[in-house]
Amino acid sequence: MTSPEGTLLLGQTLAFTDDPFVVPVDAAVQHARRGAVLMQAGKIAAVGEADKMRALHPKAQVVDYGDGVIMAGFVDAHAHYPQTAMIASWGKRLIDWLNTYTFPEEMRFDDPAYASEIANRYLDLTSSHGTTTVASYCTSHPQSADAFFEAAKARGQRVVAGKTCMDQNAPAALLDTAQSAYDDSKALLQKWHGKGRLGYAITPRFSPTSTPDQLAAMGALWQENPDCLMQTHLSEQTDEIEWVKALYPSARDYLDTYEMHGLLGERGLYGHAIHLTDRERARLRETGAGLVHCPTSNTFIGSGIFDMMGLVQDGQRVGLATDTGGGSSFSMLRTMAAAYELGQLRGTPLHAAQLIWLSTVGSARVLHLDNKIGNLTAGQEADVIVLDLASTPAIAQREAEAETLWEALFPTLMMGDDRAIASVWINGAQVR
The model's pLDDT over 177-195, given as tens digits with 9 standing for 90+, comes to 999 999 999 999 999 999 9
Residue 150 has pLDDT above 90, yes or no: yes
Which pLDDT score, from 0 to 100, does residue 90 have?
Answer: 84
Question: What is the model's pLDDT at position 99?
Answer: 87
Task: Given CATH 3.20.20.140, say whether it is the number of domain 74-366.
Answer: yes
Delimit the domains of the chain by residue range: 7-73+375-430, 74-366
- What is the β-pairing status of strands 74-80 and 164-165? unpaired
Which residue type sits at 265? G
pLDDT at 4: 78
> For residue 171, what pLDDT is reported?
96
Percentage of the chain beyond pLDDT 70 is 100
Report whether 230 contacts 269 (CB < 8 A): yes
Q: Which is the CATH superfamily of the domain at 7-73+375-430?
A: Urease, subunit C, domain 1 (2.30.40.10)
> Which pLDDT band holds residue 410 (cuts at 50, 70, 90)?
very high
| Residues whose CB is less than 8 angstroms from the CB of residue 175 and which lie 6 or more positions away in sequence, other chains included | 140, 166, 167, 168
pLDDT (0 to 100) of residue 94: 78
Average pLDDT for 329-341: 98
**What does the pLDDT average to over 287-291?**
98
- Determine the angle formed by the axes of helices 212-224 and 178-192, rounding to 10 degrees: 30
pTM check: above 0.95: yes
d(CA 351, CA 329): 21
Mean pLDDT, range 382-401, rounded to an integer: 98
Q: How confident is the model at residue 2 (pLDDT cuts 50, 70, 90)?
A: low
Mean pLDDT of the chain: 96
Cα–Cα distance list, 400 to 197, 389, 397, 408, 410 (Å): 40, 9, 5, 8, 12
The DSSP output letter for 235 is S
Distance CA 414, CA 324 (A): 19
Are 78 and 324 within 8 A, CB to CB?
Answer: no
Q: What pLDDT sits at residue 93?
A: 78
Q: For the ranges 279-283, 292-296, 325-329, which has the lowest average pLDDT? A: 325-329
| Amino acid identity, position 385 | I
What percentage of the chain exceeds 90 in pLDDT?
95
User: What's the CA gap between 357 and 354, in Å, rounded?
Assistant: 5
Angular region, 167: left φ>0, alpha ψ -120 to 50, beta rest: alpha
Judge whether residue 1 has pLDDT over 60: no
DSSP-assigned letters across all residues of 406-427:
HHHHHHHHHH--GGGEEEEEET
Give CB contacts under 8 A, 24+ apart, made by 116-121.
Answer: 116/147, 116/150, 116/151, 118/81, 118/82, 118/84, 118/85, 118/147, 119/81, 119/144, 119/147, 119/148, 119/150, 119/151, 119/152, 120/151, 121/84, 121/85
Q: Which amino acid is at 379?
A: G
pLDDT tens readout for residues 82-120: 999 999 888 777 788 888 989 999 999 999 999 999 999
Instruction: Give the integer Cα–Cα distance in Å for 224 and 127.
Output: 33
Calculate the CA 345 to chain-centre distance: 23
User: Residue range 121-130: average pLDDT?
Assistant: 98
In the chain, the N- to C-terminal Cα span, in Å, equals 16
Residue 190 has a CB neighbour count (10 Å cut-off) of 12
CA-CA distance, 46 to 15, in Å (whole number)?
Answer: 12
Whether the pLDDT of residue 317 is over 70: the answer is yes
Q: In Å, how far are 374, 409, 431 from 383, measured between CA atoms?
A: 8, 20, 10
Is residue 337 within 8 A of residue 310, CB to CB? The reply is no
18: number of CA atoms within 13 Å, CB side?
9
Between the alpha carbon of residue 231 and those of residues 16, 181, 222, 300, the distances in Å are 27, 14, 11, 22
DSSP state letter for 159: E
Work out the pLDDT band at 310, boundaries 50, 70, 90.
very high
pLDDT score, position 62: 97
